[in-house]
C-alpha cells in the first residue's frame, strides 16, 4: 500500500506470501515504484506482519497490531474494538481515543481460530473461498462441528459428507465454530464499542453477520479490510519521515 504526502491512498497490491519474502517484497516495491513513478530509496518504507524483519528495504518495522489499529482508526475515525482475523492468526485490539492500542489479545497458536480454518475446510468441501460465506448464510439450518482442531474438523466433515449431510449447514457450523472462538477472545479483552472488523476473513459476510449476532453488536467494516495493516504501516511511515512533514496522524 502506498500513500501520498497527505496520507491518501495512491496504490496497493495484494499477493499471497511466498516463502522467499525478501525477494517477493523487493519485486513488489519495484513494481509499485514503476507504476506510481517514485524512487524507492527516496521514500520511507514500513514493513509489518510476519516476516517484517525480512523486508530488506524497509526503514522501519512495526507490528501488525499497531498498524491495523492505525489503519482502521484513520478510516473509521473512532475508537473501539477491532477484530482482525487473518490467515495466520487472529487478534482483538482495543483502540483508544487517539488511535493508540490500549490492549490486545491474540491467537497465534492454533489454526482453528484463524482464517486458515475456513480456507482449509472449504477446500475439503470443494467450495470456492468466495462462496463459503453466502452459502453458509443461505443455509436453512446448521450442523454442529464439535472438533476444536482444524485437522479433526476435517475428518468430522468427511464423515458428515459420507452421511449425505448438505454442504450449506456444514459451512454454517464451521463459521459458528470460528465465531465462537473469536468471540471468546473479544469477551476476554472486554468490548469497547463499536465492534470493527479487518483482515481477510472480514470479507466473509457470514462471519461478519454471525459475529455481530453473537456479540450483540453492529459490526463496522472499512473498505479493503485486508489492507488495513499495510495502510496503517504506510501512515506510520509517513509520520516518521521528513516526507510527511505536513502530515500528522489523526488524534
Partner 1 sequence: MNPPPPPPSQISNIEPRKSGGLSLISVASYVFNYQLVGKPFLAYQRHQDERKLKALKQKPQQLLAPPLVRTARMKEMMSRHYLQARYANGVRKVAWVTSGAPVEILQALGFVLIYPENHAALCGARKKAEEICTEAENAGYSRDLCSYARTDLGTLLSGKTIVGRLPRPDLLLCCNNICQTVHLWYRVLASRMKVPLVLIDTPFLYEPAQPHQIEFVKRQIEEMIPVAERVAGKSLSMARLKEVARYSKDAAELWLEILNRGRQKPSPITAFDGFTNMGPIVDLRGEAETVEFYRSLLEEIDERIAAGIPAVKGEKYRVLWDNLPIWYRMGWLSKTLGKQGINLVASDYTYAWGELAPMMDVEKPLDTAARVYLHPILNRSTGDKLRSMKRMVKDFDLHGVILHSDRSCKPYSLGQIDQRDRLTKDLGLAAVLLEADHNDPRAFSEEQALGRIEAFAEMLH
Judged by the rule CB under 8 A, the positions of this chain that interact with partner 1 are: 50, 61-66, 89, 100-106, 108-109, 188-190
Minimum distance from CB of 103 to partner 1 (Å)?
A: 5
Residue spans of alpha helices (H) in 55-114: 64-76
* Residue with smaller CB distance to partner 1, 168 or 199: 199
CB within 8 Å of 27: residues ≥ 6 apart: none
* Residue with smaller CB distance to partner 1, 53 or 56: 53
The residue to which cell 458428515 is assigned: 160
Helices (H) then strands (E): counts for the chain: 8, 9
Minimum distance from CB of 243 to partner 1 (Å)?
A: 21
- DSSP lists the bridge partners of residue 101 as 95
Minimum distance from CB of 115 to partner 1 (Å)?
A: 16
Residue spans of alpha helices (H) in 144-248: 150-162, 167-189, 205-215, 228-240
Burial class (CB in 10 A: 0-12, 13-18, 19+), 138: exposed
Minimum distance from CB of 86 to partner 1 (Å)?
A: 12
Minimum distance from CB of 169 to partner 1 (Å)?
A: 33
CB atoms < 10 A from the CB of 246, how many?
9
* Residue with smaller CB distance to partner 1, 66 or 183: 66
Minimum distance from CB of 51 to partner 1 (Å)?
A: 8
Minimum distance from CB of 66 to partner 1 (Å)?
A: 4
Distance between CA atoms of residues 49 and 126, nearest Å: 29
* Residue with smaller CB distance to partner 1, 61 or 241: 61
* Residue with smaller CB distance to partner 1, 106 or 165: 106
* Residue with smaller CB distance to partner 1, 112 or 145: 112
Per DSSP, 111 falls in state G
CA 147 to each of CA 9, 116, 155, 173, 233: distance values in angstroms, whole numbers, following the listed order: 42, 15, 9, 11, 37
* Residue with smaller CB distance to partner 1, 101 or 206: 101
CA 139 to each of CA 166, 167, 168, 186: distance values in angstroms, whole numbers, following the listed order: 9, 9, 5, 26
Amino acid at each position: 500500500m502506498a500513500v501520498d504526502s497527505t496520507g491518501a491512498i495512491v496504490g496497493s497490491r495484494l499477493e499471497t506470501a511466498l516463502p522467499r519474502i525478501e525477494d517477493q517484497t523487493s519485486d513488489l516495491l519495484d513494481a509499485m515504484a514503476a507504476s506510481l513513478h517514485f524512487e524507492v530509496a527516496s521514500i520511507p518504507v514500513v514493513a509489518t506482519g510476519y516476516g517484517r524483519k525480512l523486508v530488506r528495504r524497509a526503514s522501519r518495522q512495526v507490528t501488525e497490531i499497531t498498524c491495523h489499529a492505525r489503519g482502521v482508526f484513520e478510516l473509521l475515525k473512532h475508537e473501539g474494538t477491532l477484530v482482525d482475523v487473518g490467515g495466520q492468526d487472529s487478534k482483538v485490539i482495543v483502540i483508544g481515543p487517539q488511535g493508540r492500542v490500549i490492549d490486545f489479545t491474540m491467537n497465534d497458536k492454533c489454526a482453528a481460530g484463524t482464517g486458515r480454518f475456513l480456507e482449509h475446510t472449504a477446500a475439503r468441501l470443494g467450495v470456492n473461498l468466495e462462496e463459503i460465506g453466502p452459502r453458509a448464510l443461505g443455509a436453512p439450518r446448521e450442523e454442529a462441528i464439535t472438533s476444536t482442531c482444524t485437522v479433526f474438523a476435517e475428518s468430522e466433515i468427511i464423515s458428515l459428507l459420507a452421511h449425505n449431510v448438505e454442504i450449506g449447514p456444514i459451512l454454517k457450523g464451521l463459521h459458528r465454530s470460528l465465531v465462537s472462538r473469536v468471540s471468546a477472545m473479544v469477551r476476554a479483552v472486554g468490548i469497547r464499542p463499536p465492534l470493527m472488523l479487518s483482515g481477510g476473513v472480514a470479507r466473509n459476510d457470514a462471519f461478519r453477520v454471525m459475529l455481530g449476532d453473537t456479540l450483540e453488536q453492529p459490526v463496522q467494516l472499512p473498505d479493503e479490510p485486508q489492507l488495513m495493516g499495510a495502510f496503517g504501516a504506510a501512515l506510520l511511515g509517513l509520520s516518521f519521515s521528513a516526507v510527511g512533514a505536513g502530515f500528522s496522524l489523526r488524534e
